[in-house]
């Protein structure tokens, strides 16, 4: 389930209807949260992701990509908001249904995993991803989908991007943990934080 926090990219009206409610989520499934207010587009997540998977990937092949949203605002020529685009580990992943090779599965804690060795590189998954996420190897053509750092989670560690993000803008967690983090953030100031699971209105270039 993708969650997107931003006070700069969405308007105030949109925010009020999108307050995070942990009760609405399965308590045993992880949630990915992107805090676009803190992302500065530095691309550290890309380097960390590559480093974590460097044994099986070429240099520069990552499962996370920094994107930007641009929208005009009245007091400035334009506003830009950066965010790392990665697999949201959807609750009901469309890519899982459509994959002809059966290379995609969803495991019990919510991670949508891909068996890269099963992947045939047909790229059908990219056509249905609501997050415009899928990314493929330059030479192999096979998917580089985020595996939620499965090998790290096995050892009780959150994925590399979430652990090492330079600005602490990426979170993985169970609903109650996420609720706690968001509450702390809100308590810190007057900024309104918006939790959104929509991808509409976000244009990437």
Among 43, 71, 94, 118, binds another protein (CB under 8 A): 43
**Which 60-79 positions form the footprint of another protein (CB under 8 A)?**
66-68, 70, 75-79
Among 54, 138, 180, 183, binds another protein (CB under 8 A): 54
Does 174 contact another protein by CB under 8 A?
A: yes
Two tokens at 162?
Answer: 């979430």
Distance, in Å, from the CA atom of 115 to the CA atom of 113, rounded to the nearest integer, reads: 7
**Which 95-114 positions form the footprint of another protein (CB under 8 A)?**
none
Three-state DSSP state, 40: coil
Query: Contact at 8 Å (CB) between 112 and 131?
Result: no
Does 83 contact another protein by CB under 8 A?
A: no
Backbone angles phi, psi at 31, to 5 degrees: -125, 140
Distance, in Å, from the CA atom of 47 to the CA atom of 113, rounded to the nearest integer, reads: 21
Among 4, 20, 25, 82, binds another protein (CB under 8 A): 82
Query: Contact at 8 Å (CB) between 82 and 41?
Result: yes
Two tokens at 167?
Answer: 């600005």
Does 185 contact another protein by CB under 8 A?
A: yes
Stretch that binds another protein, among 12-20, 41-49, 86-94, 130-138 (CB under 8 A): 41-49
Among 124, 152, 197, 199, binds another protein (CB under 8 A): 152
């Amino acid at each position: 389930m993708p969650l997107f926090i931003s006070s700069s990219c969405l308007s105030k009206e949109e925010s009020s209807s999108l307050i995070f409610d942990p009760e609405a989520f399965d308590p045993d499934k992880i949630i990915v949260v992107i805090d676009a207010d803190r992302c500065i587009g530095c691309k550290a997540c890309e380097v960390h992701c590559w480093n974590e998977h460097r044994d099986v990937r070429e240099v520069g092949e990552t499962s996370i990509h920094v994107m930007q949203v641009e929208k005009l605002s009245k007091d400035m020529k334009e506003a830009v908001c950066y965010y790392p685009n990665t697999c949201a580990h959807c609750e009901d992943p469309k890519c899982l249904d459509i994959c002809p090779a059966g290379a995609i599965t969803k495991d019990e804690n919510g991670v949508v995993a891909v068996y890269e060795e099963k992947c045939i590189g047909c790229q059908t998954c990219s056509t249905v991803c609501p997050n415009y996420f899928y990314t493929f190897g330059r030479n192999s053509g096979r998917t580089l989908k985020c595996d939620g750092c499965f090998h790290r989670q096995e050892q009780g560690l959150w994925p590399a991007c979430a652990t090492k993000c330079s600005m602490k803008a990426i979170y993985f967690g169970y609903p109650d943990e996420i609720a706690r983090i968001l509450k702390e953030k809100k308590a810190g100031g007057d900024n309104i934080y918006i939790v959104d699971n929509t991808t509409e209105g976000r244009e990437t270039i």
